[in-house]
Structure formats: structure tokens, C-alpha cells
Structure 1
């Protein structure tokens, strides 16, 4: 029964992707492939939806070499046309130009988080340039847990055209990964944005994905878990909103 539901939802996502592409009168799709499970699922979805006009971009940026290995394992499965754009030198030049002192922040961890966001935004600039050249949609890889907790970079991985995994909790993403044949090395690795050395999603948020899934489904969780979820959700409200505008000039 569960497999049938997954199969039906995959069919729905494929149809939805085509509808969104046609609505915008574009030719295909571009996705950033990181070696993580979310981007692997999206890549496999795109392959099923439109193998000919889907394109994957791997964008290491002073990254763990194993992430690129896992990304290539995903490509072995989904067969997407692809390219690798190493942003390490671009990232270094950015810091030289702006000046590391201007990117320190007020507390110890600020500089690390700012740097992670810089990497995410460099990647999105790259994806949009390639998508424009290919007359394509940029496809996001965030899931419902990341969206509700604001665990994405504003105008980085959050700045996309369509988000097919938007309604999926993390365990749902893993179900789709198994169904779509994502390699076990990707499914089994600890989720990470790869934004700094040894960074993991669960370690940074302070909760396991199992706890986050339960909380966001409205199931019973501890007060501590609820407080952490509320903290992340409230502090990231601005990420889920359109830019604010004042009253119109004509109204004065």
C-alpha cells in the first residue's frame, strides 16, 4: 500500500514539474547535485520527468571530496547530463575582495554561518546563470522540515523556481529515495549542507530528523523539542515571506 502511494506521488510530481515548465514556456530543468539525499531524489525525479532536458550541476566549494563521489554515484543511476563547476577559487576571491574582517559577525559562530551562506549563494548564482543559458527552471531540493525550520539560505538554496519536495518530511524523502533507486551510500550518510568541516543538519539544529518529523506532524514530543522547533521556526519567518513594501506613493 505504501509503495503504491509513493508511486502515485512520484507520478504526480513528474506531471507537476511538466506543468510548471510549460507555464513558464521554458525548455527544461537545472538542479544542484550535492551528493546528499534531497538533491539525489530531485535528480532522479528529473531524470524520470525529462531526461533529455534535465541538467545537474555539481558545485564543490572547498568541499569534502566524498560528496562529489556520492554525487557521481547518483549520476550513475539517473544518467542526467551534467557538469562540475568548482567554486573554491571563486569563494577565495570573494573573501579577498570583500575582506574577511567585514564578514566576521558579532559572535564566534557568525563567521562560519556567514561563510556557509556565501557558499550557498555562490552556488545559486551559478545555477541561475546556467539555467538562463539553457532556458530552464532552477529546481530546489529543500524539504518540509528544512522549510519550516528555515534551514536554508535566503537567496541561496531557498532562491529557486520550483520546490518538488516542499510537502515531504525527511522520512518521506528517504522513502522516495529508496523507491527511485538512490545509492545506499547517499541514503546512509548523515544529512549535511556541506557548508563547513564536519557540519551536519542534526548537529546544527540540535534535534534528530526523527524528532523533527514527529514535531512537525503534530505528534507528541518533549517540551525541549518543541522549544527548539519554535526557536528555529520563529527566527526564520522572514525567509518564508516575500519582501516587504510600504504604502503606495499615490496613497499620500
Structure 2
């Protein structure tokens, strides 16, 4: 089940770059800050931001990071700075902060729940760091989530990588992300790497965590939106569709506005 992007990459690129530039000008900010993970989403987002000509700060935030993630992130940042004079970078090593945090909280819990909570804690420490850099430099935090992650299965951390000022690629499917990233000459090491959120300190892929590939989840998202009859699905498609529906339902709290208790009618 391989999905091929159908977007017109040149037109989409121009549209997103103009959207970013106009948004920043209206907001009267100097540019953007992007957390660089070594993955395709952050590589694409930072490249789109760089094309605006506004200041772009790429931030590495390692927390016991796998060496492959680090090398890919550094390769991308080096290439981006060579291509765009408005791009700069900084490394904020959050490993000591993360370890200090763990010493101050109780950890005698179910291991699965504890590991997931600590993974989300990493993402929230990074969000705080991005907003620090954004604040002192007068920048906006650019989100790196794609459509499948943000509006399909909710594969992100609330108030972590979901805590951003604007989302330039959140209307792109993962196949679109790869197509646009290839067009913009993102390094092959990133284009060929298995997607991974890097929140567990190892090479656990997104597919291993989700139970399905992005191609499969993209298919399921489209099938759900089109109310496709499940009677036409193969056995694997039924499994994938079930995974998609379960995650989509469980993560609605991330996608919907925060519930507010209204008192108007009291």
C-alpha cells in the first residue's frame, strides 16, 4: 500500500512560503524558530521558513538522542545554512534538565505508563525551550506536524510538539511531505530514514508505535473521510482502518478545542 503524492510541489511550495511570510509580517515578528529532529517534517518546515528570507533559528534539543538522529539533524542544518544566509542554529542540550526533572518526581508506576509519560515530558521540555528562543529573538514557533499526525491519529504530544504558533505543513499528507522535501533537496539521509519521533532514546520507528505505516494511515484517513464501505477492504486494510479509528477517537482531546464550562444560562 504505497501512496504517491499528487500535489503540484512548485505551487504548494510558493503558497506555503508566501503564507509564512505574510503571517510573520502581520504579526510583526522577525521570523521563525524550528526544532530540528533529524526527521523529514522538521527538515521540510525549516526549509520552507528559510525561503521567506526572514530570520530562521534551527534548534537542536538532544535528550539522550540516538546518534543517527543527531547526525541527520546536523547534516540538514549545515546544508540549510550554506543555502540560506538568514538561517542560524543553536544547540540546547536538555539531557541534564530531563535527568534533574526525573529526580524530583515519583517514578514508582507501571513501566509502560511511566515511559510514555517521560516521552511526553521530553516533548514538553522542548516546547518550553523553543518558546524561550522565540521570546528572546522575536520569533514564531513553527510547528512540524503533518495532516496524518495532527488531524488523523493525533500522533503528537499535547503542549509538546503540539504547542506551536503556526502549522505550515499540517494540511500535507506524509506522502506530500516527502514529495515536497525531495523537491527542496532535503538530504537523502533524511528522505530515506524510517520516521521516528525520537522520544524514547532509541530507533523505535513511528510505524512500530502506531502499528501501521504512514502510507497505510493516509489511506485509512481518506477512506474514513469518504465513508468507504469496509466490506471492500482486504484483511490488512480492516486492521489498519481499525487502528486509525481507534487512535482518531482516543486523540480527539488533542484535536478539539479545550472544553470550557459555560455559565451563561445559570
TM-score clears 0.5: yes
Give a deviation string over 1:42-101, Cα, whole Å, max 9, x none: 111111112x51111000001112211111111122112000001000000000112323
Cα 1:4–1:251 change in 2 (3 A) is: closer
Give a deviation string over 1:26-45, Cα, whole Å, max 9, x none: 11100000111100011111
Task: Kindly indicate whether the alpha-carbon contact (under 8 Å) linking 1:61 and 1:88 is maintained by their aligned counterparts in 2.
Answer: yes
How many residue pairs end up in the alignment?
245
Task: Kindly indicate whether the alpha-carbon contact (under 8 Å) linking 2:6 and 2:176 is maintained by their aligned counterparts in 1.
Answer: no
Equivalent of 2:163 in 155, 159, 165:
159
Q: Which residue does the alignment assign to 1:245?
A: 260
* Equivalent residues in 2 for 1:78-157, closer than 5 Å: 78-79=80-81, 80-101=87-108, 104=109, 107-147=110-150, 148-157=152-161
Q: Hey, what's the Cα distance between the residues in 2 that align with 1:135 and 1:167?
A: 26
Q: Hey, what's the Cα distance between the residues in 1 that align with 2:203 and 2:35?
A: 21
Give a deviation string over 1:115-170, Cα, whole Å, max 9, x none: 11000000000000110111111000000111120100000000101111111111
Task: Kindly indicate whether the alpha-carbon contact (under 8 Å) linking 1:77 and 1:181 is maintained by their aligned counterparts in 2.
Answer: no
Q: Which residue does the alignment assign to 2:214?
A: 209
Task: Kindly indicate whether the alpha-carbon contact (under 8 Å) linking 1:61 and 1:86 is maintained by their aligned counterparts in 2.
Answer: yes
* Equivalent residues in 2 for 1:215-226, closer than 5 Å: 215-218=220-223, 221=233, 222-226=237-241
Q: Which residue does the alignment assign to 2:29?
A: 26
Task: Kindly indicate whether the alpha-carbon contact (under 8 Å) linking 1:144 and 1:165 is maintained by their aligned counterparts in 2.
Answer: yes
Deviation for aligned residue 1:3: 9.4
- Structure 1 runs of 4+ aligned residues shifted over 6 Å read none
In the alignment, structure 1 residue 193 sits paired with structure 2 residue 197: yes
Stretches of structure 1 that go unaligned for 5 or more consecutive residues are: none
Task: Kindly indicate whether the alpha-carbon contact (under 8 Å) linking 2:57 and 2:89 is maintained by their aligned counterparts in 1.
Answer: yes
Deviation for aligned residue 1:112: 1.2
Q: Give the 3-state SS of the residue equivalent to 2:8 in structure 1.
A: helix
Q: Hey, what's the Cα distance between the residues in 1 that align with 2:128 and 2:107?
A: 21
Q: Which residue does the alignment assign to 2:84?
A: none
Structure-1-length-normalised TM-score:
0.92
Q: Hey, what's the Cα distance between the residues in 1 that align with 2:12 and 2:117?
A: 36
Q: Hey, what's the Cα distance between the residues in 1 that align with 2:58 and 2:77?
A: 9
Deviation for aligned residue 1:111: 1.2
Q: Give the 3-state SS of the residue equivalent to 2:51 in structure 1.
A: helix
Report the aligned-residue RMSD: 1.7
Stretches of structure 2 that go unaligned for 5 or more consecutive residues are: 82-86
Task: Kindly indicate whether the alpha-carbon contact (under 8 Å) linking 2:123 and 2:160 is maintained by their aligned counterparts in 1.
Answer: yes
Task: Kindly indicate whether the alpha-carbon contact (under 8 Å) linking 2:34 and 2:42 is maintained by their aligned counterparts in 1.
Answer: yes
* Equivalent residues in 2 for 1:14-93, closer than 5 Å: 14-50=17-53, 52-79=54-81, 80-93=87-100
Q: Hey, what's the Cα distance between the residues in 2 that align with 1:193 and 1:224?
A: 23
Structure-2-length-normalised TM-score:
0.88
